[in-house]
Amino acid sequence: MIVSDFQIYVRDCLQHVDIVRKTFPDLPMFICGHSMGGAISILMANERAAEFSGLILISPLVLPNPESATSFKVFAAKILNHVLPNFSLGCIDPNSVTRNKQEVESYARDPLVYHGSMKVCFGVQLLNATSRVEKALPHFKLPLLLFHGTADKLCDIRGSQLMMDTVPSEDKTLKIYDQGFHALHKELPEVTTSVFQEIERWILQRI
């Protein structure tokens, strides 16, 4: 997984928004982003806030994981990016994604999921993305619905708490799931059902 600039993801998603808007010009548009897609969604909303009626984020990437982004590791990654950009930083353990074993197996078999290792150059782009996200938060005024699990090992829950404390939006909600893992929309049935019911209720109240 390699990308020269994180903005490529934001650009491509906004191009998709333009296509959808042409097809459905009169409908309200909400963004829903999970994990790295959460960072993309925040940057999309920051770039073109007038396009959207609200933002839904599930375990978003707002802050670097404190275990994998210590000051030394960040410094080392930036140095390695110049000399060994394809150096492996390891793979995501499917068991850290959800407590639902059926979903773990599905994730591990899914050919559309990248199962290789994360490269140094991509890790640096993720760091750049979180830096941009933090700078965008004080300007964020859209309605916001956040979900995060307390046992998320992939995206730090403190990022969602920081977002709640920082964004000036007057319409913002954080739903925390005790012991929930990273993919709350693919978690234990009671968690997943709750997440989708909350999303449905929240959107219906705003259209």
pLDDT tens per residue across span 70-121 = 443 444 444 444 444 454 556 789 999 999 999 999 999 999 988 887 777 7
| Short-list 58, 57, 42, CA closest to 180 | 58
Q: What CATH number is associated with residue 177?
A: 3.40.50.1820
Domain membership of residue 175 (yes or no) is yes
Q: Does residue 132 sit within a domain?
A: yes
Catalytic residue among 59, 148, 160, 182: 182
Please say whether the beta carbons of 95 and 107 come within 8 A.
no
Q: Is residue 151 part of a domain?
A: yes
94: CB partners within 8 A, 6+ apart: 104, 107, 108
User: Quick check: is 99 in a domain?
Assistant: yes
152 labelled catalytic: yes
Does residue 136 register a pLDDT over 70?
yes
Is the residue at 73 inside a domain? yes
pLDDT digit string, tens, across residues 16-71? 999 999 999 999 999 999 999 999 999 999 999 999 999 999 999 999 765 544 44
**pLDDT at 41 (0 to 100):** 97
> Total structural domains in the chain?
1
Q: Which entry of 34, 35, 59, 160 is annotated as an active-site residue? A: 35
> Residues 198, 204, 207, CA angle at the centre, nearest 5°?
140
32: amino acid identity, one letter: C
pTM: 0.88
Q: Give domain status of residue 17, yes or no.
A: no
- Tell whether 16 is covered by a domain: no
- For the question of residue 182 being annotated catalytic, the response is yes
From the centroid of its chain, how far is CA 163? 12
Q: Which residue among the candidates 148, 152, 156, 160 is catalytic per the annotation?
A: 152
- 156 counts as catalytic: no
Domain presence at residue 104: yes
Q: 109 is in which domain, residue-wise?
A: 7-11+29-204
Residue 149 is classified by DSSP as E
Mean pLDDT, residues 147-167 taken together: 96
